């Protein structure tokens, strides 16, 4: 019986392997770096390439093997790059052109000079789609093409772009991390911004005038160069700000901007766990300015390292009233007598960064660092505290932990509005 089962398992394995082999479109290596495809656009409109690809080895978390770069040509003309950064198959989307139906020849070339990862890149599938949602056309037509330096192929990489679903255009870029600015102090970055990623407004319209965020966080009218008819911006500062494309940044990214969910800007990360994962991989790989690891999963809550993104509780809440910087979030566990808090002065962060939201009426996200390994079932209460002298009105919108795959696992917090008097905490029991 066991022999039969083994034979059966082997057959299954063989079937699966054969099937997998068929699913591969091409394996690009330094000796065989190119694949050409003839595809067809069936409808007029913005064409989007969906390229499913993976690295044969390494990936964003592996030093010196973070990414491989494919140059994509349309016909004989270079269009943009695809940065493959994961051993897991991912679908990389490229905004191609606004065109007519017809044949399209795509050539993918592994750029060995730009690729830090020297292994093969496996192309699993490539398909074209045409945008059929007219509302998206104007967001695509003005979405910036980004150019970046090679240093960003291993750190602080602009991994995707979103647009706000409003009347005026607005594009926001999500970077894997920020080594400059606040990012030099990872615990402060997490403490203040509730993330280790960097989020920057790139380009928007003010009364119809295209405006971009230039160095020094200055808003400037954009009259710079275009690529494929779209505004072209270079990421030109270490804190992720923009300049008109200067032609000196060799990597060209043509993203399909995604509609941003309402609420805090971090919401876009919640629906893309792969992004939170690569952010975490990068920070675990990197050192801080003093040569110490930026992060490590740790059991100590008061640790100089920022920890792992999966050892935090994330809380979104609305808040009005109170004094300046009066709101804080507190967490109680079922089997630990300590109260865990987001504001370091109360004991959550070892580095300076005394931060509490100002309660100006918007929605806020804060994080509370918990001992490594805490699960949903371990959490007893999540509360909104008032550290000020005037009552504040608040409501939880959402609270969650990240699961093993960095996807939010929601906690059933009470979302009914409540008033918190100074010096007290309103707890929601789970
Ligand atoms: Ca970094
Ligand atoms: Ca920044």
Asked if residue 145 and residue 33 are part of one domain, the reply reads: no
- 284: in domain: no
Cα separation, 294 vs 287, whole angstroms: 5
Q: Could you list the residue range(s) of the whole structural domain that residue 319 is in? A: 298-429
- 289: in domain: no
- 288: in domain: no
Asked if residue 178 and residue 70 are part of one domain, the reply reads: no
Residue 49 has, within 13 A of its CA and on its CB side, a CA count of 29
Q: Which residue matches tokens 């870029």? A: 173
Asked if residue 173 and residue 141 are part of one domain, the reply reads: yes
Distance 181 CA to ligand 2 centre (A): 7
Q: Residue 269 gets which letter from DSSP? A: H
Question: CA geometry: angle at 366 spanning 365 and 372, to 5°?
Answer: 130
Picking from 130, 157, 186, the residue at the C-terminal end of a domain is 130
Task: Collect the ranges in the chain with pLDDT lower than 50.
Answer: 1-8, 10-21, 345-353
Asked if residue 142 and residue 125 are part of one domain, the reply reads: no
Ligand nearest the Cα of residue 186 is: 1
Distance 358 CA to ligand 2 centre (A): 21
pLDDT in tens, 375-398: 999 999 999 999 888 999 999 999
Asked if residue 398 and residue 343 are part of one domain, the reply reads: yes
- 6: in domain: no
Distance 192 CA to ligand 1 centre (A): 17
How crowded is residue 90: how many other Cβ atoms within 10 Å of its Cβ? 17
Cα separation, 404 vs 141, whole angstroms: 38
Distance 178 CA to ligand 1 centre (A): 5
- 2: in domain: no
Distance 224 CA to ligand 1 centre (A): 28
Cα separation, 270 vs 108, whole angstroms: 31
Q: Which two tokens stand for residue 271?
A: 């629906």
Determine the 3-state secondary structure of 46 from DSSP.
strand
Asked if residue 124 and residue 208 are part of one domain, the reply reads: no
DSSP secondary structure letters along 386-411 = E-SSS-EEEEEEEEEEE-TTS-EEE-
- 230: in domain: yes
- 63: in domain: yes
Asked if residue 86 and residue 165 are part of one domain, the reply reads: no
Distance 269 CA to ligand 2 centre (A): 16
How many domains are there within the chain? 3
Query: What pLDDT is attached to residue 267?
Result: 94
Distance 183 CA to ligand 2 centre (A): 8
Picking from 104, 130, 156, the residue at the C-terminal end of a domain is 130
CATH number of residue 115's parent domain: 2.60.120.260
pTM as predicted = 0.90
Asked if residue 241 and residue 144 are part of one domain, the reply reads: yes
Ligand nearest the Cα of residue 237 is: 2
Query: For residues 425 and 315, is the Cβ–Cβ distance under 8 A?
Result: no
What's the sign of the alpha-carbon dihedral 25, 30, 36, 41?
A: positive
Distance 209 CA to ligand 2 centre (A): 23
Asked if residue 240 and residue 146 are part of one domain, the reply reads: yes
Asked if residue 364 and residue 268 are part of one domain, the reply reads: no
Distance 132 CA to ligand 1 centre (A): 37
Asked if residue 262 and residue 180 are part of one domain, the reply reads: yes
Asked if residue 241 and residue 150 are part of one domain, the reply reads: yes
Cα separation, 366 vs 191, whole angstroms: 7
Q: Which two tokens stand for residue 216?
A: 């020094």
Ligand nearest the Cα of residue 182 is: 2
Query: What pLDDT is attached to residue 181?
Result: 78
Picking from 114, 130, 146, the residue at the C-terminal end of a domain is 130
Q: Which two tokens stand for residue 292?
A: 């110490």
Query: What pLDDT is attached to residue 392?
Result: 92
DSSP secondary structure letters along 8-28 = HHHHHHHHHHHHHHHH--EEE
Ligand nearest the Cα of residue 215 is: 2
């Amino acid at each position: 019986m066991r022999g039969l089962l083994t034979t059966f398992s082997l057959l299954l394995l063989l079937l699966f392997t054969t099937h997998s082999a068929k699913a591969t479109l091409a394996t690009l290596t330094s000796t065989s770096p190119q694949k050409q495809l003839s595809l067809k656009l069936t409808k007029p409109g913005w064409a989007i390439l969906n390229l499913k690809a993976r690295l044969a080895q390494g990936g964003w978390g592996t030093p010196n093997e973070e990414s491989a770069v494919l140059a994509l040509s349309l016909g004989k003309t270079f269009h943009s790059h695809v940065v493959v950064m994961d051993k897991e198959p991912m679908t990389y989307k490229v905004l191609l052109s606004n065109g007519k139906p017809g044949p399209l020849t795509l050539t993918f070339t592994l750029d060995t000079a730009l690729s830090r990862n020297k292994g093969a890149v496996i192309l699993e599938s490539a398909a074209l789609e045409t945008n059929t949602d007219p509302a998206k056309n104007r967001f695509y037509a003005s979405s910036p093409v980004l150019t970046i330096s090679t240093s960003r192929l291993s750190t602080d990489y602009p991994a995707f772009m979103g647009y706000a679903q409003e009347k005026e255009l607005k594009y926001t870029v999500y970077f894997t991390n920020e080594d400059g600015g606040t990012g030099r102090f990872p615990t402060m970055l997490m403490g203040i911004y509730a993330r280790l990623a960097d989020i920057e407004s790139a380009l928007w319209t003010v009364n119809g005038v295209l405006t971009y965020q230039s160095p020094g966080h200055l808003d400037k009218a954009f009259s710079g160069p275009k690529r494929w008819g779209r505004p072209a911006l270079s990421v030109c500062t270490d804190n992720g700000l923009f300049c008109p494309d200067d032609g000196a940044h060799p990597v060209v990214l043509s993203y399909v901007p995604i509609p941003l969910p309402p609420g805090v800007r971090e919401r876009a990360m919640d629906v893309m766990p792969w992004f939170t994962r690569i952010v975490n991989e990068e920070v675990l790989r990197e050192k801080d300015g003093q040569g110490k690891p930026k992060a490590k999963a740790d059991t100590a809550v008061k640790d100089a390292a920022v920890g792992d993104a999966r050892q935090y509780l994330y809380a979104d809440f609305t808040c009005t009233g109170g004094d300046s910087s009066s709101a804080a979030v507190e967490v109680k566990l079922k089997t630990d007598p300590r109260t865990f808090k987001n504001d370091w002065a109360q004991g959550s962060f070892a580095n300076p960064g005394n931060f509490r939201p100002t309660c100006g009426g918007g929605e806020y996200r804060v994080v509370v660092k918990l001992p490594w390994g805490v699960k949903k079932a371990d959490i007893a209460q999540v509360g909104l505290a008032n550290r000020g002298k005037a009552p504040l009105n608040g409501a939880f919108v959402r609270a969650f932990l990240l699961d093993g795959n960095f996807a939010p696992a929601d906690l059933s917090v009470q979302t009914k509005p409540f008033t918190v008097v100074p010096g007290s905490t309103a707890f929601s029991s789970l």
